């Protein structure tokens, strides 16, 4: 009997291969074959006009095949890269050119592209290019951008790319009339994700077939395909994009196309030899993408019970030099900041500002960590003002379980209303309190204080819109061996999709898990897809593989019903065998696949040859009536709107009274992503997210100096948590409020772990120290300085 796999802890089929170093990443593609290597000259200045580029010394270098600057680009390649998500409020959107045209706007911007026999020669050649710059004053940081004494782009007044305001009710009037008011200034600094594998692209052009094959480390293979075709003037059908194993994406590989993703295929086509580019770590720091940098001003009015009557949030978003992803990050902050709460009235206004720093694209959490920090710091401040328990204030503001679907009265990026589909926030809070020992904490604090130790506890709540459309598709094909091949077009960066989707298909088709093999991110197998970001794969492709497997199963039943001379309604399937219920009459799925093909071959032992034969009436192919040959199912899933996952984290920290070192004593998570496909995978996602969140809260920041140089562009200087800094045991409890929006009741889980980190650590450190924490990340030396600033006079 096939056991149900949905909801069980099936070990990840990917892991043996990946953990033993048997993965194939972009840099492993075409190894052993002749491949040319690319290197990029990047701007050493944050802001400069390019007066002249002299490449004469490079062309003579042995082994150099090409050196290009902007002037060598023609047609669509000489146009700016696409602005992927435009928005009407983005009145001054700007994207970069594949190679800088006339000016550079951040350290690291690509200026020239060299292709050579190997990477050493290419890098040496890059070093011989001479550029004559006119130095311009850079704009670094939000304060400088707002002051606008100098401009990033001459034609963008005030450095303001966009200003967007939304209001639900009259927040300012509500605040003015409220019995209590507060204002807060809150800052989250700029950071970035650091996947183990940086960006990497390999391309091969086949002149005979007129076909381009691109292997790239991306989160959106179909997006890259479309851009390569458009920019190189090829038909979409001439371009295949294959996503090999991807060593982490975390958002940075959502951006497409990167300049190198276009220049590499272009070079492969012109030079007639495959070309490869592999980003190094310094390039990742200065020429990919960052996020998080925002300053916020909050005004809030509330009643004696801590109910928020009016909330007014203004914030300034540091967008860096370009806006390829439009306003997606600040829009997410502004709309999902409210989390599980329903303020009486809410106004939010933001400005998206240009600076001469690396551009911003979404990084795991995408604007929500900042929003959660703002909302949860506000909740804590209200509790402190009223002398109430922090959980009590939150509970007073929760949307209640019977209020779903709940419309927040706001409009999201796509112009649709922000409507939460389901959840149970009071139940989550009760679970969290029990998990972390909230009610026992004061006794623990007293015990620790008796030993001269200082501890604090904090909690933070969030929601996350997941499973965003427009669609995702899947193809399920049963082979004559009974093996099931599944293809879905979105990509995988380590989330375990091969396992989770195989669980869904095995259940729906009634076959053993081992019989199912899942392919992702190959445009030859599934050319219609969107990509893996915004915690959408489980909802989108999970639903699509479920529907496609259902279609395959229905077809299998139609064929089996004819073969077994039974009614479809009497059939059942288990362990890959279709039976007429209650009888011995059965047929296995592989045989059904054989029957689904009117043209069949058999292996003739005597002649040792495959012989073509056909069974039954030649006039009537032995597939079910009106069916096409082949045992397969295909379907697409397109949701009405996003589904809202939610969660709450709590942390207990100890702060050293002498050194201000911050130690995590306990970390607890209650998470609701609807029905869990694989709890082990979801918990892995939470662990990874919490680890990233610990980095964001306590260590990681992009340290720019006034001239726009990134001072910590290496792992020697950019502090990431090691395993020793991440809590060893994270206590996790799940709540499953199914989404009514998709067939399996799933909500996404891939970003949840990172969203509340800044908020929860700020709350716990503040609780330990009795000092307001308003900016994150916070290091021991900063905590030390804060302590000194708050010493009694
Ligand atoms: N899952 C589940 N049950 C649910 C929801 C999810 O079992 N109810 C499983 C899914 O099947 C999937 C995983 O959890 O295996 C994450 O699913 P989902 O929330 O849909 O997120 P995506 O698969 O779309 O992944 C994107 C998300 C994002 S946006 C970032 S950023 C991120 C993340 O995933 N980047 C990652 N997790 C990452 N994990 C790794 N290892 N590497 C990255 O780059």
The per-residue pLDDT for range 221-231, each reduced to its tens digit, is 999 999 999 99
Q: How confident is the model at residue 413 (pLDDT cuts 50, 70, 90)?
A: confident
User: Residue 136 is encoded by which pair of tokens?
Assistant: 């311009």
- Provide the CA 442 distance to its chain's centre, in angstroms: 38
Tell me what pLDDT residue 627 has.
Answer: 76
Phi/psi zone of residue 565: left (φ > 0), alpha (ψ -120 to 50 degrees), beta?
Answer: left
Span 672-729, pLDDT tens digits: 999 999 999 999 999 999 999 999 999 999 999 999 999 999 999 999 998 888 988 8
Give, for ligand 1, the residue of 748, 753, 754, 755 to mutate: max count of ligand atoms closer than 8 Å to Cβ: 748
> Is 290:320 a contact under the CB 8 Å cutoff?
yes
What tens digit of pLDDT does each residue of 114-138 get?
999 999 999 999 999 999 999 999 9
CA of 667 to the centre of ligand 1 (A): 21
Question: How far is ligand 1, taken at its centre, from the CA of residue 757, in Å?
Answer: 18
Q: In angstroms, what is the span from residue 282 Cα to ligand 1's centroid?
A: 27
Residue 146 has pLDDT above 60, yes or no: yes
Predicted local confidence at residue 629, as pLDDT: 86
**Contact, 639 vs 470, CB < 8 A?**
no
Distance 492 CA to ligand 1 centre (A): 9
600 confidence band (pLDDT: 50, 70, 90): low
Which H or E run contains 333? helix 328-336
pLDDT for residue 622: 55
pLDDT at residue 755 greater than cutoff 70: yes
- Predicted local distance difference test score (pLDDT) of residue 417: 86
pLDDT higher than 90, residue 44: yes
ipTM of the assembly? Answer: 0.99
C-alpha–C-alpha distance, residues 278 and 198, integer Å: 7
For 717, the token pair is 């200087």
Q: Are 192 and 252 in contact (CB under 8 A)?
A: yes
pLDDT band at 624 (very low <50, low <70, confident <90, very high): low
Q: How far apart are CA 427 and CA 271, in angstroms?
A: 62
Sign of CA dihedral 256, 696, 494, 247: positive
Which residue's entry shows tokens 């047609």?
Answer: 75
- Average pLDDT along the chain: 94
pLDDT (0 to 100) of residue 599: 67
Identify the pLDDT of residue 727: 86
Residue 456 CA, distance from chain mean position: 31
Residue nearest to atom 10 of ligand 1 (CA): 538
Q: What angle do CA 74, 244, 6 make, to 5 degrees?
A: 130
Q: Based on C-alpha coordinates, what's the Rg of the chain?
A: 28
> Which residue is it, tokens 């419309």?
407
Residue 623 has pLDDT above 80, yes or no: no
Report the distance separating Cα 234 and Cα 243, nearest Å: 20
pLDDT in tens, 12-38: 999 999 999 999 999 999 999 999 999
Ligand 1 binding residues, C-beta < 6 A: 195, 248-251, 364, 466, 493-497, 500, 532-538, 673-678, 681-682, 685, 688, 746-751
Determine the distance separating the centroid of ligand 1 and the alpha carbon of 614, expressed in angstroms: 46
∠ Cα 335 359 123 (to 5°): 155
Residue nearest to atom 37 of ligand 1 (CA): 750
User: At CA 461, angle to CA 456 and CA 464, rounded to 5?
Assistant: 145
pLDDT 10s digits, 343-386: 999 999 999 999 999 999 999 999 999 999 999 999 999 999 99
- Asked whether the beta carbons of 708 and 699 are under 8 A apart, the reply is no
pLDDT in tens, 236-281: 999 999 999 999 999 999 877 999 999 999 999 999 999 999 999 9
Predicted pLDDT at 648? 98
pLDDT at 615 > cutoff 70: no
CATH number of 294-401+421-467+640-789: 3.30.365.10
Whether 2 has a pLDDT exceeding 70, the answer reads no
Atom of ligand 1 nearest to the CA of 490: 24
Q: Are 734 and 679 in contact (CB under 8 A)?
A: yes
Tokens coding 100: 């800088």
Where along the chain do its domains lie? 34-136, 294-401+421-467+640-789, 469-637
> What integer pLDDT is reported at residue 601 of this predicted model?
60
Ligand 1 mutation target, pool 243, 491, 685, most atoms within 8 A of CB:
685
Question: What is the C-alpha separation between 300 and 175, in angstroms, rounded?
Answer: 6
Three-state SS annotation for 43-88 = CCCCCEEEEEEECHHHHCCCCEEEEECHHHCCHHHHCCCCCCCCCC
Please name the residue ranges forming H helices in 466-536: 497-509
Candidates 13, 535, 646, 673: which one to mutate for ligand 1, based on the most atoms within 8 Å of Cβ? 535
CA distance 497 to 493: 9
Which region among 101-105, 378-382, 409-413 has the lowest average model confidence (pLDDT)?
409-413
Query: Which pLDDT band holds residue 619 (cuts at 50, 70, 90)?
Result: very low
Closest-CA residue, ligand 1 atom 23, reads 537
C-alpha to C-alpha distance for 1 and 698, rounded to whole angstroms: 50
Residue 256 is predicted with a pLDDT of 76
pLDDT value of position 1: 47
Task: For residue 556, give Cα distances in angstroms to 30, 196, 220, 508, 585.
Answer: 39, 43, 33, 12, 15
User: CA distances (Å), 181 to each of 166, 255, 313, 524, in order?
Assistant: 21, 41, 13, 59
Question: Does the bond joining 6 to the residue before it have cis omega, within 30 degrees of 0?
Answer: no
Distance CA(495)–CA(750), nearest Å, equals 8
Residue 203 CA to ligand 1 centre (angstroms): 28
> pTM score > 0.80 for this model?
yes
Q: What is the pLDDT of residue 729?
A: 86
Question: CA separation (Å) from 73 to 80, 211, 441, 595?
Answer: 11, 21, 64, 55
Q: Which alpha helices (DSSP H) does 154-301 contain, by range?
A: 171-177, 221-232, 259-271, 281-287
Q: Is the dihedral of CA 576, 578, 582, 583 positive or negative?
A: negative
CATH fold for domain 469-637: Aldehyde Oxidoreductase; domain 4 (3.30.365)
The residue behind tokens 């689904």 is: 596
Q: How many CB atoms lie within 10 A of CB 333?
A: 27
Distance CA 421, CA 742 (A): 11
Q: Using one digit for the tens of pLDDT, what is the confidence trace for 771-790?
A: 999 999 999 999 999 999 99
The model's confidence at residue 414, banded by pLDDT at 50, 70 and 90, is confident
Q: In this predicted model, what pLDDT tens digit does every residue of 422-446 receive, in sequence order? A: 999 999 999 999 999 999 999 999 9
* pLDDT tier, 315 (very low <50, low <70, confident <90, very high otherwise): very high
CA distances from 23 to 28, 478, 547 (A): 9, 26, 30
Residue 3: pLDDT band by 50, 70, 90 thresholds?
Answer: low
**How many angstroms does the Cα of residue 687 sit away from the middle of ligand 1?**
12
Q: Could you read off the pLDDT of 211-220 as tens digits, one per residue?
A: 999 999 999 9
CATH class of 34-136: alpha beta
* 83's tokens: 């602005």
Q: Is the pLDDT of residue 548 over 90?
A: yes
Q: How far is the CA of 190 from the centre of ligand 1 (A)?
A: 23
**469-637 shares the fold of 34-136:** no
Contact 463, 394 (CB under 8 A): no
| Residue 430: partners with Cβ closer than 8 Å, 6 or more residues away | none
d(C-alpha 325, C-alpha 329), whole Å: 8
Inter-residue contact 257 to 268 (CB < 8 Å): no
For residue 607, pLDDT over 80 is answered with no
């Amino acid at each position: 009997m096939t056991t149900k796999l949905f909801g069980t802890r099936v070990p990840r089929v990917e892991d043996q291969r990946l953990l033993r170093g048997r993965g194939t990443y972009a840099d492993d593609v075409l190894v052993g074959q002749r491949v040319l290597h690319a290197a990029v000259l990047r701007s050493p200045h944050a802001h400069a006009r390019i007066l002249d580029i002299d490449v004469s010394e490079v062309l003579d270098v042995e082994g150099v095949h090409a050196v290009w600057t902007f002037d060598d680009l023609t047609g669509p390649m000489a146009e700016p890269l696409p602005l992927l998500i435009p928005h009407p409020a983005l009145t001054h959107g700007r994207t970069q050119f594949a190679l800088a045209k006339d000016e550079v706007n951040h350290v690291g911007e690509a200026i020239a592209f060299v292709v050579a026999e190997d990477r050493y020669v290419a890098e040496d050649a890059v070093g011989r290019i001479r550029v004559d710059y006119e130095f311009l004053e850079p704009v670094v940081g939000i304060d400088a951008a707002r002051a606008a004494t100098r401009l990033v782009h001459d034609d963008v007044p005030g450095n303001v790319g966009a200003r967007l305001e939304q209001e639900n009710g009259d927040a300012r009037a509500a605040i003015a009339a409220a019995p209590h008011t507060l204002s807060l200034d809150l800052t989250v600094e700029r950071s970035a994700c650091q996947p183990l594998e940086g960006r990497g692209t390999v391309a091969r052009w086949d002149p005979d077939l007129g076909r381009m094959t691109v292997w790239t480390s991306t989160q959106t293979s179909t997006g890259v395909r479309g851009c390569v075709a458009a920019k190189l003037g090829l038909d979409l059908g001439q371009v295949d994009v294959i996503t090999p194993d991807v060593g982490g994406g975390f958002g940075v590989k959502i951006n497409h196309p990167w300049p190198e993703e276009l220049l590499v295929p272009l070079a492969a086509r012109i030079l007639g030899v495959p070309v490869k580019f592999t980003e190094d770590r310094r390039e990742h720091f200065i020429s990919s993408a960052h996020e998080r940098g925002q300053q916020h001003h909050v005004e809030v009015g509330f009643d004696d019970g801590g109910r928020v009557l009016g909330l007014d949030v203004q914030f300034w978003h540091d967008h860096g030099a370009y806006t390829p992803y439009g306003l997606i990050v600040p829009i997410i902050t502004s709309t999902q900041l409210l989390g599980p709460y329903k303020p009486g009235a809410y106004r939010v206004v933001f400005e998206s500002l240009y600076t001469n720093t690396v551009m911003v694209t979404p990084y795991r959490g995408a604007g929500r960590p900042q929003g959660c920090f703002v909302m949860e710091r506000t909740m804590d401040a209200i509790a402190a003002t009223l002398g109430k328990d922090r959980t009590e204030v939150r509970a007073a503001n929760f949307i209640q379980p019977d209020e779903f679907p709940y419309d927040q009265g706001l409009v999201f990026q796509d112009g649709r209303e922000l409507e939460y589909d389901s959840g149970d926030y009071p139940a989550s809070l009760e679970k969290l309190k029990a998990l972390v020992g909230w009610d026992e904490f004061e006794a623990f604090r007293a015990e620790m204080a008796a030993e001269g130790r200082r501890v604090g506890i904090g909690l933070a709540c969030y929601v996350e819109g997941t499973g965003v459309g427009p669609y995702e598709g899947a193809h399920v094909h049963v082979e004559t061996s009974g093996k099931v091949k599944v293809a879905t077009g979105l990509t995988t960066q380590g989330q375990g999709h091969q396992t989770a989707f195989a669980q869904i298909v095995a259940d729906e088709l009634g076959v053993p898990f081992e019989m199912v093999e899942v392919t992702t991110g190959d445009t030859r197998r599934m050319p219609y897809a969107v990509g893996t970001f915004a915690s959408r794969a489980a909802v989108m492709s999970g639903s699509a593989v479920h529907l496609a497997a259902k279609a395959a199963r229905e077809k299998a039943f139609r064929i089996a019903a004819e073969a077994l001379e039974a009614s479809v309604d009497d059939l059942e399937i288990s362990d890959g065998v279709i039976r007429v219920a209650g009888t011995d009459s059965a047929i296995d799925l592989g045989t059904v696949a054989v029957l689904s093909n009117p043209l069949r071959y058999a292996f003739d032992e005597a002649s040792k040859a495959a012989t073509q034969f056909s069974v039954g009436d030649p006039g009537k192919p032995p597939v079910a009536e009106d069916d096409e040959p082949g045992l397969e199912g295909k379907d697409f899933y397109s949701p009405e709107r996003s589904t809202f996952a939610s969660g709450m984290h709590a942390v207990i920290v100890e702060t050293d009274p002498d050194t201000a070192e911050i130690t995590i004593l306990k970390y607890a998570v209650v998470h609701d992503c609807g029905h869990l496909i694989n709890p082990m995978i979801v918990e892995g996602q939470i662990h990874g997210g919490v680890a990233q969140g610990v980095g964001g809260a306590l260590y990681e920041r992009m340290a720019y100096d006034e001239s726009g140089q990134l001072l910590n562009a290496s792992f020697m200087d950019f502090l990431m948590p090691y395993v020793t800094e991440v809590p060893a045991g994270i206590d996790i409890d799940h709540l499953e409020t199914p989404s009514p929006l998709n067939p399996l009741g799933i909500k996404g889980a891939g970003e949840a772990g990172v969203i509340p980190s800044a908020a929860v650590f700020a709350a716990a450190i503040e609780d330990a120290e009795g000092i307001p924490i308003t900016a994150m990340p916070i290091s021991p030396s900063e905590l030390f300085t804060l302590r000194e600033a708050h010493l009694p006079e």
